Chains A and B, each alone.
Chain A
Amino acid sequence: MEIVYVYTKKRSEFGRQCNFSDRPAELHVDILPDISLAANFTVRDPCNVTVQCAEEMSEHEVNTERFESESRGINHVEGGWPKDLNPEDMEVTIRYRKKVEKDEHYQNTIMQIAGLMEHCCKQNNATDIYQEFFEEEDDEVVEESEEQPSAKTINVFRDPNEVKRTATSLCWHPDGNHKLAVAYSSLEFQRAPNDMSFDSYIWDIENPNKPEMTLKPVSPLVCLEYNPKDSHILVGGSYNGQIAYWDTRKGSQPAEMSTIEHSHRDPVYKVIWLQSKTGTDIFSASTDGQVLWWDIRKMSEPFERLVLDPSKKGNLDNALGAVSLEFETTMPTKFMVGTEQGLVVSCNRKAKTPAEKIVCTYSGHHGPIYALQRNPFFPKNFLTVADWTARIWSEDIKESSIMWTKYHMAHLLDGCWSPVRPSVFFTVKMDGTLDVWDILFKQNDPTLSLKVCDEALCSIRVQDNGRFLGCGSQLGTTTLLEVSAGLCTLQKNEKAMVSEMFERETKREKILEARHREMRLKERSRSEQSREDEGKEADGEESTEELVARAEREFFDIMEAEKKKEWNEERQREKEKGVCEEKDFQEEHETNGVSSFTRREISL
C-alpha cells in the first residue's frame, strides 16, 4: 500500500511569493515534574566509576592527495634522421638512403651478416629445431624410474583372545574398504582346546587395538564373506557344517542359521555370494563332497545340491571333498571347485541332469587346492594354489597347467590375483612369507618375497584397489600391508602382453597334448597288432587289481635290492664293532620286515 499525501494548489497560486506572518509563541505541551515517579528510582551509593590513568590518544584518518600516474609507450616512428633532414620529405630520405648504400663499410658489413643470416634461414628450412621429439617416450621414461617393488606393514591386528586361533579367512568390506572381516577357527582336527572362543571379528583398519564388532556363531567360522550388494550382511560357514548369516545392524548373534540336518557334514570351507536379482543367494562347499545352494531368507534347507562325484552318479561315498570354490559374476552359469584330492572340477549350473553338471576336471596338483581364482582380466585363465606350487591354467587345456612356479620349500596355503594388474598375483606360505609374483617381470622367482611373521600364513585377500592386502596367520594375527605403486598401477601394454603370454603358453600345452595323444594312439595300434583277439579296447588298460599287484611286486623287488645293498654296507662298517651286534641287527631285520627298513632310512 502506498502512502500518499495529496495536496492541492490552485494554478493561479503557483509562483506566488510566500506570505509569512508573525505570530506569538504558543505553548503546546507542558510536562510538569511528577514527584511520585521518583519512587521508581533509588539512590545509588556508592557509585563505581572507572578511571584510567593513561595517555589520551585519538585516532585520525588521513588520505593523501592522489598521485596520478599513467602508463604510456613511446612509438618511435621514424629513426634518428639527421637534424637537417625532414623525414616527411620522400626525396630527401631516398637520397640519404642511397648515400648509405654506397658506403663501403655498409656493404662489407651487410655481406658479413647476410652470410650468417642465410645460414640460419637455411637451417630453419632444414629442420624444425623446436619440434617435440620423443613425445611418446616421455611417459615411459617417467614410469621407468620406478622404485624397487616393496611392501610395508601398515597395521597388525591380533586375536584378543588368550587362546590363539588361526585366521582362516578374510573379507574386505565392499564399500570403501575400511573394514576387514576375519574368521577365526582352529582347523587342526580335534586339537581345538576346550576354552577356545568361537568368535570372529570385524576390524576397522584404523583401530588395531579393539575389533569394531564381534560375531558370535555357534561353532567357529571357517569362512566369511560380505554381501557385495549389501554391506551390512555377512555370511559365514562354520566348522560344524552350518551356514549362518549376520546383519551387522542387528547385532552379534547370527540372524539365521541353517538347520543341522540339511547342512554340510564337514567344515564349510568356502561360501560365495551369487549374482541374483534378490541378492540373497549363496553357495557353499565342504569336504563332505557336496556343493549346496542356499537362499538366506530360507535357511531351513538348501534349494539345490550337487555331489562332487567324478563318476557322475551322485554317490556321496565316491565324492571328492571340496576345499575351495570359484565363481565369477561375469560367467554366472559356470563355477569351479577345488578339491582335497588335487583336482579342479569345472561345473555348469544350468545343466539339466545332475550328471551333466560336472563338465570337466583339471588334474595336476598333489594336494588340496587351497585357492582357486580366475584372472579378473582374462577369465579363461585361472590360478590354483596347492601343495608346494601355484599354477596357472587355461580352461581349454585339461591335462596340465600352462604355467607353474617352482616347487617351494614350504606349502603354499593361499593366493589371489591382483585386481588391478593382470600379471600380478600373491601367495602365502607355511613359513610365514608373502610372495608377490609378476609374471611379466620374472617367472622363476617371486618379484617380491616378504617375511611377514614366524608362523604360517593361512589366508590372504587383496583390496579392490590392489594396493592394500591383508593376510592372516596361524596364531590369529592379521597383517595389513601396502604394496608399492609399481605393483598396483597398470603398466603400458600390460594387458596385451599378458594375453600374449597366456596364449603362447596355451598353444605350447596344446601342442604337447596333441603330441601325447599321437603317441598314445601309436602305442595302442602297436599293441593291437601284437595281440590278435577281440575286445581290442581293453588292451592298453590293465584292470586295477593287476596294476596294483604289479606295482606291489615292483615295489618289493626294489626294496629287497635296496635292503641287500644297505646290509652289505653296514656289515663292512660294523666289522670293527663286533660280531654279536651284527647278528642281533640281522635278526631284527628279518623279523620286522619293511617297516624297520623305512625307519632305518630315516635315521640314516
Chain B
Amino acid sequence: MLDIECAGAEVEETIKRIQSQKGVQGIIIVNAEGIPIKSTLDNSSTVQYAGNVHQLLMKARGMVRDIDPQNDLTFLRVRSKKNEIMIAPDKDYFLIVIQNPTE
C-alpha cells in the first residue's frame, strides 16, 4: 500500500513540478481511450484537448511509421501564435502540456 501511495505521490509531485515551470498554462493526462485522467484545466477545455490531440497523435504516429516502420513517434510539439502544445505519447496514456513560450 505504502509503495503505491508513494508512487502516487511521486506522480503528483512531478505534475506539480511541471505546473510550476514558467509559462505552463495547463496539464492533461489522457488514457488510450480518450478519457482525461487528470487535468488542471476546466472540463470543457480538457475534453476538447483530449479529443483533438488524440486524433492528431494517431495521424502523426501513423505518418512516422509509414515513412519508416522501425521508427516511432516520441514527442509532438505544436507551436501556435499564442502558445505551444506539447504532447508526450505512450502506448496507453499521453501527457499534454500547454505552455506559453517565453519571448
Contact = CB atoms under 8 A, between A and B. Distances in A.
The main secondary structure of chain B at its interface with chain A is mixed
Interface in B21-59: 21-24, 29-31, 33-38, 47, 50-51
B15 A114 contact: yes
A102 B4 contact: yes
Contact of B21 (A79, A80, A125): A125
Interface string B68-103: 000000110101000010101111111101010111
B92 A118 contact: no
Contacts of A110: 11, 14-15, 29, 93, 95
A547 interface: no
> How many interface residues does chain A have, given as a range?
20 to 34
A114 B95 contact: yes
Nearest to B24: A121
Contact of A76 (B51, B77, B102): B51
Contacts of B90: 109, 112-113
Contacts of A118: 14, 17-18, 21
B79 to A, nearest CB: 7
B92 A125 contact: no
B66 interface: no
Given A101-B38, A122-B21, A125-B102, A117 B97 contact: yes
Nearest to B102: A125
Nearest to A110: B11
Interface string A60-86: 000000000000000111111100000
B63 interface: no
Contacts of B101: 124-125, 128
Interface in B5-20: 7-8, 10-11, 14-15, 17-18
A207 interface: no
A97 to B, nearest CB: 6
Nearest to A131: B103
A38 interface: no
B42 to A, nearest CB: 14
Nearest to B15: A114
A100 B95 contact: no
Given A116-B75, A120-B86, A81 B35 contact: yes
Contacts of A125: 21-23, 101-102
Contacts, number: 112
A105 interface: yes
Interface in A22-80: 75-80
Interface residues on B, range: 35 or more
Nearest to A87: B35
A102 B5 CA distance: 8
B8 A77 contact: no
Contacts of A96: 35
Given A97-B37, A105-B92, A107-B11, A117 B23 contact: no
Contact of B50 (A79, A114, A121): A79
A104 interface: yes
A95 to B, nearest CB: 13
B75 A101 contact: no
A80 B33 contact: yes
A120 B33 contact: no
Contacts of B84: 124
B31 A100 contact: yes
Given A100-B37, A112-B90, A121 B15 contact: no
Contacts of B38: 97, 101
A106 interface: yes
B37 A106 contact: yes
B84 to A, nearest CB: 6
A111 interface: yes
A128 B14 contact: no
Contact of B14 (A76, A100, A105, A114): A114
Given A115-B14, A124-B102, 5 more contacts: A79-B33, A81-B33, A97-B35, A102-B8, A125-B101
20 contacts: A77-B51, A79-B30, A79-B51, A80-B33, A81-B35, A97-B38, A100-B31, A100-B35, A102-B4, A107-B4, A110-B95, A113-B90, A113-B94, A114-B11, A114-B88, A117-B86, A120-B77, A121-B18, A124-B23, A124-B101
The 8 closest A-B pairs by CB, nearest first: A79-B34, A79-B35, A80-B33, A113-B88, A76-B51, A114-B14, A121-B21, A107-B7
